[in-house]
Amino acid sequence: MANRLKDYFPLIRERKEVLKEIGSSMALSTLFDSWEQERQEEFLDFCTGVKGVKVLYDSFFKEIMNPEYSPGRLNRFLSLLLGKRVTIKQVIPNDSTRIAAEGSLLVTDIVVEFEDGGLADIEIQKIGYAFPGERSACYSADLLLRQYKRAREKIQGRNRKFSYKNIKNVYTIVLFEKKPGRNKKAGKCIYP
């Protein structure tokens, strides 16, 4: 008999067990039946260990790396990525900045403030060319503007003069499931 994932991870259930649990609840049945067949199969594959969860899907990544649930996880990840030890001080709420008169919204994925006052935006993209350099520059500019406003607010009422040296580093980190080709029109991509 071939080795099965269930032999190593006993909590993984068989397909019929998962379907039985879904069928035992009207709410679960209604929800499951509302999904397209492809989504139902994908869900069953996740539950039975046939396929793994795609960590770079927006919803999964945000749940797994959410610093409010597990702050150490994102701290370690960003420390490794940035090559220096960072500690997240707080998660900054999305404020959906308007970046143009036509009403385009800049909606960030996860924005955090580090202990040293620096800001980082962690973006998740399925396809690399959907997040070209120009878009990344807009996100970085948004972080820089937030940093500027914070620095100005800190000195107000303290009889101190504002200095641009008060502005800390900002980072825009974009993770791609599929990187764009080197010759795509979307812009120049630099990969190691």
Give the pLDDT score at 3: 57
Domain count, the chain: 1
- Residue at 159 is within a domain: yes
Give the pLDDT score at 98: 47
- Residue at 14 is within a domain: no
- Residue at 157 is within a domain: yes
- Residue at 52 is within a domain: no
Give the pLDDT score at 108: 65
Name the more confident of 54 and 191: 54
Tell which residue, 114, 173, 168, has the closest CA to residue 146: 168
Backbone angles phi, psi at 39, to 5 degrees: -70, -40
Count other Cβ atoms within 10 Å, centred on residue 147: 19
What's the distance, CA 27 to chain centroid? 29
Give the pLDDT score at 133: 79
Region 46-70: what's the mean pLDDT? 81
Q: What is the torsion angle, in degrees rounded to the nearest 10, for the CA atoms of residue 41, residue 42, residue 43 and residue 46? A: 120
Give the pLDDT score at 107: 61
Domain range for 163: 58-178
The pLDDT-based confidence of 65 (bands split at 50, 70, 90) is confident
Region 21-26: what's the mean pLDDT? 95
* 162 in Cβ contact with 156 (< 8 Å): no
pLDDT tens digit sequence for 115-159: 888 888 888 877 667 677 788 888 888 889 888 888 888 887 777
- The domain that holds 155 is classified in CATH as 3.40.1350
Give the pLDDT score at 96: 52
pTM of the model: 0.62
Radius of gyration of the chain (CA): 22
Lowest average pLDDT, out of 18-27, 41-50, 99-108, 124-133, goes to 99-108
Give the pLDDT score at 189: 42
- Residue at 85 is within a domain: yes
